[in-house]
Amino acid sequence: MGTPILPYPSTHFADAPGDADSITPPSFAQSEFQTIIRRQRHGNDPEGLKIRHSHPRSPHNSAEWDFAGWGSMRYLEIPLEELQLAEARLNTPPTMLSHLAALSVAGNGMAGGVFYTFPLVAATAGIYSPLCLLVSTLLLFFFRPILVELGATIRLNGANYVYLLQFAGKMVSLVGAASTLLDATATASVSAATASTYLGGEVTHLPFSTNVLTILFFVVLCLAALAGVKERASFTAGVFVFHISIMFALAIASMVHWARADPHSLILRSNWSLRPDSALETARAIFYGICISILGVTGFECTPSYLQHIQPKAYSPILRNLIIIVAVQNTLLCFLLFGNIPFESITSGDNVLSVLADEAAGYWLRIIVVVDAISVLLGGVMTGIMASGTLFERLAQDRVLPQFFLWTLPYTGSQYISTLCSVGLALLLFVASGMSLDTVSSMFSVSFLFEIFLYAVSDLLLKLNRPSLSRPPHAGFLTLVCAFIVVCTTWAGNIALDPSAIAIFAASFAIVLAVFFVLNGQLSILRLALRIYATSSIRRGKDWLLRRYRRTRDARVCVWIKDDDIHTMLQALLSVQRNTPDPRTVVFVHAYPTVDSIPSELHPNTRLLDEAFPMITIDLAFVQGVFSPTLVEAASRKLDVPRSRMYVISLGRDHPWDLAAYGGARVIM
């Protein structure tokens, strides 16, 4: 019958304590000893190199690409000089915008709303238009504390994508990314289309149509953005100051003309007589007027897109000043419009402010108002390009988008791939809407409301999922409930007015979201393709797939671990897998004040997890010091892992630093 095969050959235990020639199963001590020896063989690599596995994970998959390699353990030596440099980098924030410049970026989008909102509101609400514009602007005060709380917790560009990434995870954050990109794209499309319509309404003998003029505006602004104009704060600030000055002059001129030409307010009385007769019709006109007036405050949602460039203490006053400026401008000018211009003239054309300027002061003021309209609307296009550009940058840093989105031009420093994609998407949206300003404006209102709805959702998730995070500015629960009621009600009103708007928004949103999901899951697609190759006789193209797979899956992620609890380590690892595009290497980093304080089971547990996850290399790094933003920054440079891929298990309320101080680190549990 032959010699029986022993389950535990004697040579297998040659290094273990006890009888080396025994054929009995090993004792518990021998098993533990052999486990330690095996882990040390695989883990103690003095060169820090990964040892290739000798067996495939699956009989159908090649270990050449499926196995990530064994992890290693190292001690990081961070000299005092590097810590001082790290602290200096943290204390040197990115280029900060002045209060006026920060106000003007979103202000150009909001203040330019007067040129395309007034005719739409007047046609719906009639004489109640000033009231509707005032109420719609004041409703933003429900969202101001929400944005302030989110901004105080997460001081990063990227708007809803960043917030949902921190509070809900990767897959939900892609919904925020799609919403933010669509809103920024719609901002650019509406502003460019309105500018061409406004110019076409004044110049009757244009050599081409307004649609062609819109495309030309996109081309010119794309070249200006590539030249670095969108990074120049003086440009947006100058446009904003010019617009506010012209609107102030128009208001003064309208008041003087009203007092001189119509001291008995006959025009206003005539417009008032056209109001609805019944209370129900009045309520309906005011409600739909408020819903349409939301279009006049778009741009407010863009402020979190450039949050890193706003002084922390200036963020709340900037949001407040935006609301006040737009409320005064829209309400006052609309009231003066109904006091100087008959209702038939208001609803007969789009250039109502030009008509008001001509009536109040003459043709010279009309020309200036047209120049102001073109400049501030094109400034709104720049706002949309900037908002989508910062989102592209953030997505590329998080490896959702390819790294070429971070490529910059040598002289201007502009990220030209992001700029070209931003302008291209805005132009594509305009064409997809049939080149209709009314259609793209309706879709813009729905997109804006969905964006601020996600801000409220992000704040709710912050309260539910991250209650221990320190955030001194706090939005109350009642404020959050009111914000949800406001956004849902006005969203329903806009859809009721134009059902086609939700169809265009849903189709655009689905396409953008699908692209993000595909890009985020490209590693899974490559892995599936490699497995299909392994089970088929086709070999052509496999080398390219392998190179692409390795190049895409070279990301390293750091998880700062406090103790050696294996359950916590496992949950952290699973969370990283769910929320990071398939990392190849996860580095557990432990900060220790003295060697004696290092948890005894941290290294063995890391090796155990390294064996349990063959597709991830799990390293362990020790760094001496106290866990702090300075130490995280220094370790980030030492390990060559950006702070956006530094994960923290949790931050308690008693932690001396808030999450924003860590400059992009994420809380995962």
Quick: pLDDT tens for 363-412.
Answer: 899 999 999 999 988 888 888 888 888 888 888 888 788 888 888 888 77
The pairing of strands 585-592 and 73-76 is unpaired
CB–CB of 163/458 below 8 Å?
yes
User: Quick one: pLDDT at residue 666?
Assistant: 81
Using CA atoms, how far apart are residues 514 and 520, in angstroms rounded to an integer? Answer: 10
- Asked if residues 391 and 177 have their Cβ atoms less than 8 Å apart, the reply is yes
pLDDT tier for residue 13 given thresholds of 50, 70 and 90 = very low
Average pLDDT, the chain: 82
CB 638 within 8 A of CB 658: no
Tokens of 344: 């038939």
Q: What is the pLDDT of residues 146-181, one digit of tens each?
A: 999 998 888 888 888 989 988 888 888 899 999 999
pLDDT of residue 564 exceeding 90, the answer is no
pLDDT of residue 235: 78
The 10s digit of each residue's pLDDT in 199-252 is: 888 887 778 788 889 999 999 988 888 887 755 667 788 888 999 999 999 999
Q: Express each pLDDT in 323-339 by its tens digit.
A: 999 999 999 999 999 99
- Of 330 and 48, the structure prediction assigns the larger pLDDT to 330
SS3 625: coil
3-class SS of residue 409: coil
pLDDT above 60 for 3: no
| Better pLDDT: 375 or 468 | 375
Handedness of CA 191, 193, 196, 198 (dihedral sign): negative
One-character DSSP codes across 131-168: HHHHHHHHGGGGTHHHHHHHHHH---SSTHHHHHHHHT
**pLDDT tens per residue, range 81-118:** 888 888 888 776 667 778 888 888 888 888 888 888 88
Model confidence band, residue 57 (pLDDT cutoffs 50, 70, 90): very low
Query: What integer pLDDT is reported at residue 33 of this predicted model?
Result: 52
Mean pLDDT in residue range 635-661: 81
Cα 73 to Cα 46: distance, rounded to the nearest angstrom: 9
Q: How far apart are CA 414 and CA 386, in angstroms?
A: 11
Confidence band of 536 (pLDDT split at 50, 70, 90):
low
pLDDT tens-place string over residues 122-137: 989 999 999 999 999 9
Q: Identify the residue with better confidence: 630 or 437.
A: 630
Q: Residue 158's closest CA among 316, 317, 385, 388?
A: 388
Contact 369, 354 (CB under 8 A): yes
Kind of pairing, strands 556-560 and 73-76? unpaired
pLDDT at position 200 is 83
CA distance 428 to 505: 13
Query: In the structure encoding, which two tokens stand for residue 101, read together?
Result: 């410049």
Bridge partners (DSSP) of residue 647 are 559, 666
In the chain the domains, ranked by start, together with CATH numbers, are: 96-460 (1.20.1740.10)
Q: Helices 499-520 and 477-497 sit at what angle, rounded to 10 degrees? A: 120
Q: In the prediction, which pLDDT does 17 show? A: 42
| Residues in CB range of 8: below 8 A, 6 or more apart | 23, 24, 25, 26
Long-range Cβ pairs for the range 522-528 (8 Å, 24+):
522/552, 522/581, 523/549, 523/552, 523/553, 523/581, 523/582, 524/582, 526/552
556-560 sheet: strands from edge to edge: 73-76, 617-624, 585-592, 556-560, 646-648, 666-667
pLDDT band at 523 (very low <50, low <70, confident <90, very high): confident
CA dist list (Å): 329 to 61, 193, 389, 471, 579: 66, 22, 29, 33, 44
